[in-house]
Amino acid sequence: MTIRPSALVLADGSVFHGEAIGAEVSGGISSGEVVFNTTLTGYQEVLSDPSYAGQVVTFTYPHIGNYGTSPDDDEAPAPFCRGVVVRDLARRRSNWRSTEDLDGWLARHGLAGIAGVDTRRLTRHIRDAGAMSGAFGTASLEALADAAAAEPGTNGVDLVSVVSTAEPYTWGSGPRRVVAYDFGIKRTILNHLATIATVEIVPASTPAAEVLARQPDGVFLSNGPGDPAAVLGAPATIGALLGEVPVFGICLGHQLLATALGGTTFKLPFGHHGGNHPVRRLADGTVEITSQNHNFAVAENSVPGATVTHRNLNDGTIEGLMVADLRAFSVQHHPEAGPGPHDAAYLFEEFAALMDASGPRTAAGRGA
């Protein structure tokens, strides 16, 4: 194997050296917003999660690629992230499910990466300075620095339009009917929803009237990438659904629900990315270890009439909201995991119970 020297240059001029892995991209440059993820396993699920669109993912765990990749672990047909940074890329895979090594998976999807990086130093730098744009590859340091400076990051960028489905499709055959807005939905979420409902996934731009015409028992607002303020039209659409049908949102769906209710969002210094974030369920004080992947959060006291249901124990940010009279609730974390713990998986059953309590749909689109 030929070693290809590579480097990562951040927008503040910091330089990290390593070697190129994955695809050889045109011009030898890949760029995006550099973030770090603390999960120990599930690198394939992380890289294929559409929520990482526009970002370069740094794994804090030092050994990545140990168990290869499997088609069953893809969260989307193709990754939307901009690249990957690792300390040590495993030279051989060891798992009976594996069909391809990580380097081959990256190359097949046209995704570049850089290995041999001091990811501990990089993570500490991002934690202290905040997530920032960067560029990596085999090009000169000067070219990488220029690319990092030109990279817009995720603030104010509509990434949902890049990852959302172009046409509706159906998933599963559960007993209820749910319409899911695809803001960047993961397959693991669809698999969980399919245990409680037959799910029709629709593009992010689908009008509320078209959704209500399908007479669903509930509407799901999916995860997705980037800045919720850039998803124009979504809050108004969600507002037209509230009170008409039960609504459940996860991650970006949580932020968009809060926005529809009159709330505001803000960008976290370096986001929450990993599978070990403690969250307190305020109803009974239970602490859940959760999977998280977001850069933005709902601002405190900004959502009139909403009850805060969950809190992040690391920084106190809002992790869950509920508006009982509108039959709507949401969480910032990922109860479906993929990867991560399943402490919060009960929320899908709570969605099912909310739909059942609301009664069947009528032709007019309201609960009977």
**Omega within 30 of 0 (cis) for the link into 339:** yes
pLDDT at 351: 98
**Is there a catalytic annotation at residue 251?**
yes
Nearest to 83 by CA among 55, 105, 63: 55
Structure-block tokens of residue 303: 């959502």
Residue whose tokens read 């030279």: 91
What distance in Å separates the CA atoms of residue 212 and residue 361, rounded to the nearest whole number?
Answer: 9
pLDDT at 366: 39
Structure-block tokens of residue 234: 């979504």
What distance in Å separates the CA atoms of residue 247 and residue 364, rounded to the nearest whole number?
Answer: 18
What distance in Å separates the CA atoms of residue 331 and residue 217, rounded to the nearest whole number?
Answer: 20
Q: Domain 160-358 has what CATH class?
A: alpha beta
**Is there a catalytic annotation at residue 333?**
no
Domains 5-150 and 160-358 share a fold: no
Strands, E, within the chain: which ranges? 5-10, 15-22, 30-37, 55-59, 63-64, 83-85, 88-89, 112-115, 132-137, 169-171, 176-182, 197-203, 218-221, 247-250, 265-281, 286-298, 307-312, 318-323, 328-331
Per residue in 178-197, pLDDT (tens digit) is 999 999 999 999 999 999 99
Strands, E, within 73-116: which ranges? 83-85, 88-89, 112-115
pLDDT at 15: 98
pLDDT at 207: 98
Spans in the chain with pLDDT lower than 50: 362-368
pLDDT at 165: 98
Fold designation for 5-150: Glucose Oxidase; domain 1 (3.50.30)
**Which positions ≥6 away from 56 have C-beta within 8 Å?**
30, 31, 32, 33, 34, 35, 81, 82, 83, 84, 85, 134, 136
What distance in Å separates the CA atoms of residue 122 and residue 132, rounded to the nearest whole number?
Answer: 11
pLDDT at 277: 97
**Which positions ≥6 away from 147 have C-beta within 8 Å?**
9, 29, 31, 135, 139
Catalytic one of 272, 273, 310, 334: 334
If phi over 0 gives left and psi between -120 and 50 gives alpha, with beta otherwise, what is residue 54?
left
pLDDT at 367: 41
* Domain coordinates in residue numbering, the chain: 5-150, 160-358
Catalytic one of 33, 125, 151, 251: 251
Catalytic one of 33, 45, 151, 336: 336
Residue whose tokens read 């990957």: 84
pLDDT at 360: 66
**Is there a catalytic annotation at residue 151?**
no
pLDDT at 2: 78
